Structure 1
């Protein structure tokens, strides 16, 4: 089990796929700073029997959950696509991630690609390269995570943590949150409140707002 920071929320993100299934773990503090814990891609060859591919993916996801003990799991929400074969594989891998989380009593968040892109880049139609670049920036990495499946898994995890501390998540009530999530959400709300209550400061005669926390390490 990897060591964790005291007040940080640990989220495991899964970018489901049959050939490549991205699994990324991040920790996010109440001031929205995020750090990379671990990232990997579970791969299965196309010529392997379907049931064996699913078994390998299930074991890979379970291994990462057990190794890093997240507080929550975030999975990409699957939508119908023109390529039925592709969406079927994605849906099957998604189901394995949901099962692994449920079997361990972990709450799950489902997020659409547009939600994740908007959270990470500010633009719901961002391309893969933009997402990779912003994930690297948010996590303070020297280079973008590769392949894209790895970056997408990390983006899902960060998105889930940030949305958990949003007003929409708070208004939904605490009943669906774990004790760790409630403590983290309350700490984030307190940090936001202190930031909003801070008086404007003067610098060289000009009125300026206090600096916002910098994203990334």
Structure 2
């Protein structure tokens, strides 16, 4: 199964592609960053992110997409850009009928390092080791995107022994994601 991980951002949107095989074995395919200039108009920046993600979806034909779940941060401007980039990724994946997994930063850190509060350096080091790379992928956004893809593959509830058109065998939600979804439902009432 091929998984595209997206660490959403408006200035730097990290992207990483892995292949998942039986026994939780992962193989590096691609990593990079979609960049936009903060001085460009917002609509042009969003279009650039959309085009970049579309190109990756076309080139690598993933079976699933993993996106970092957006949380409120102290900097409203940062969280808005992150949310906008995340929405683009979710929309493009849905348009192609791809399975999407949303993962919190702590879920990703726990899946990759075994510790939900791991530092970025620890996550990057483990991504490098898991994928058998010579160096930590740079910038950190690319390493984070690969970590998201690995987390999704390891926790996403997919049958990695099935064909490239693998279907989810469970809901794919972690207990934390189910709790988050339930909390969102309660707030909406």
TM-score, normalization by structure 1: 0.74
Is 1:70 aligned to residue 45 of structure 2?
A: no
In the TM superposition, 1:134-153 aligns within 5 A as 134-153=126-145
Using the alignment, how far apart are the partners of 2:92 and 2:125 within structure 1? 30
The SS at the match of 1:23 is strand
The SS at the match of 1:70 is coil
Structure 2 alignment gaps of length 5 or more: 171-189
In the TM superposition, 1:99-178 aligns within 5 A as 99-165=91-157
Is 1:180 aligned to residue 166 of structure 2?
A: yes
Give the superposition deviation at 1:179. 4.9
Deviation per residue, 1:147-184 (Å, 9 max, x gap): 1000000000000000124xxx79xxxxxxx95135xx
What is the number of residues matched between the two proteins? 166
Using the alignment, how far apart are the partners of 1:47 and 1:71 within structure 2? 35
TM-score, normalization by structure 2: 0.84
2:71 corresponds in structure 1 to 79
Asked which structure has the greater CA Rg, the reply is: 1
CA RMSD of aligned residues (A): 1.7
Give the superposition deviation at 1:30. 1.5
